[in-house]
């Protein structure tokens, strides 16, 4: 398996942060925190670049609120400067790891999406008599941080980049309560202290979610092809 290195300098480069800020600002330019950051843009980006360069970057606290689309969800919004860092990370990381995902992975990927997934399903429905419809309950709240970090390290060998990703993961705030039992658990296992879950709707979280499930996707596709 190919692993990617020497990424960290690209992430913290001023030009990449400038592009990341433009992406983070899209559709939000009149928000007070965005306008405040943009008012002293060069100074703020240089500060971020220096913090990343010296590994002194510390994420801020999330702001949590609920939406209904159509069911209730807890959304966690990172401070704007952190969203810039999330986009800077994705700018460098996503083009490298995207080709490692299976073709039939459609969530949160450029050129994919719901309509393409439906079209692909309709093609398969003409070839096979059965379909398995399933869902992962509370996907982001149920992600195990240590497994996610391990899966990321299978793809990225740059230690500084892994430091940044793990710092972002470890700064996740508390999400909705999710109680689940797995083989080997006892009745008290779900109540033991655990790391906070991944927040929903941050720029980097869909990518991390795809990394988390990628090996299962690949294994499922391989096994189905053998049937």
- Considering only 10-19, 41-50, 130-139, 143-152, which range has the smallest mean pLDDT? 130-139
Predicted pLDDT of residue 50? 97
The SS3 of residue 156 is strand
What is the DSSP code (8-state) at residue 98? G
pLDDT at 187 over 80: no
Kindly state the average pLDDT of the residues 51-62: 94
pLDDT at 197 over 60: no
Name, in order, each residue with C-beta under 8 angstroms of 162's C-beta and a sequence gap of 6 or more. Answer: 149, 152, 153, 156
pLDDT at 166 over 50: yes
Predicted pLDDT of residue 165? 95
User: Which residue is associated with the tokens 């306008």?
Assistant: 35
Q: Where are the alpha helices (DSSP H) in 58-204?
A: 80-97, 114-125, 139-142, 145-153, 159-170
End-to-end CA gap in the chain: 25
């Amino acid at each position: 398996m190919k692993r990617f290195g020497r990424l960290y300098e690209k992430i913290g480069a001023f030009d990449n942060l400038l592009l990341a800020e433009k992406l983070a600002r899209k559709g939000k330019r009149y928000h007070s925190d965005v306008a405040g950051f943009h008012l002293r843009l060069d100074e703020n980006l240089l500060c971020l670049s220096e913090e990343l360069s010296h590994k002194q970057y510390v994420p801020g606290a999330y702001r949590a609120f609920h939406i209904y689309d159509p069911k209730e969800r807890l959304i966690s919004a990172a401070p704007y400067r952190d969203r810039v860092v999330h986009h800077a990370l994705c700018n460098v990381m996503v083009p490298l790891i995207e080709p490692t995902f299976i073709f039939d992975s459609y969530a949160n990927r450029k050129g994919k999406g719901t309509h393409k997934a439906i079209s692909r399903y309709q093609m398969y429905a003409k070839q096979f008599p059965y379909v398995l419809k399933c869902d992962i309950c509370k996907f982001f709240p149920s992600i195990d941080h240590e497994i996610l970090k391990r899966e990321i390290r299978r793809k990225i060998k740059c230690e500084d980049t892994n430091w940044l990703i793990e710092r972002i993961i470890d700064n996740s705030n508390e999400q909705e309560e999710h109680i689940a039992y797995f083989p080997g658990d006892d009745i008290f296992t779900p109540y033991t202290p655990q790391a906070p879950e991944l927040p929903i709707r941050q720029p980097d979280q869909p990518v991390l979610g795809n990394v988390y499930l990628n090996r299962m996707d690949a294994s499922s596709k391989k096994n189905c092809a053998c049937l």
